Amino acid sequence: MEGFSLNSAKSFLGRNVNLHLKDGSVIINVQLTGLRKGDFGKGNFLEYATRRNRRTACMPLQDIAWAEMLNLSLLQNAG
């Protein structure tokens, strides 16, 4: 199985996902908003926004193990 790469991150842009990190933690229900290069061209960062207050944050792409896409219609019907 291949790790979370730049190409797989591009396919999730604009979608709501749960981000599973390599340390075992999970960042739940965020929308992926963009990709950017690190300082001096080293590393790539994934920008995401929380659903409630739309605050954005960045995380190194190498720290993400995989992303799980959410189906928001199921979440809206349950609540």
Q: For the chain, give every domain's residue range.
A: 6-78
Q: Look up residue 55 and give its two tokens.
A: 């605050």
Q: Which pLDDT value is given to residue 65?
A: 95
Q: Which pLDDT value is given to residue 39?
A: 80
d(CA 54, CA 23): 25
27 contacts: CB under 8 Å, gap ≥ 6: 18, 19, 21, 48, 59
pLDDT grade for 32, boundaries at 50, 70 and 90: very high
Query: For 3-23, what is the mean pLDDT?
Result: 91
Report the CATH fold assignment for 6-78.
SH3 type barrels. (2.30.30)
User: Percent of the chain beyond pLDDT 70?
Assistant: 86
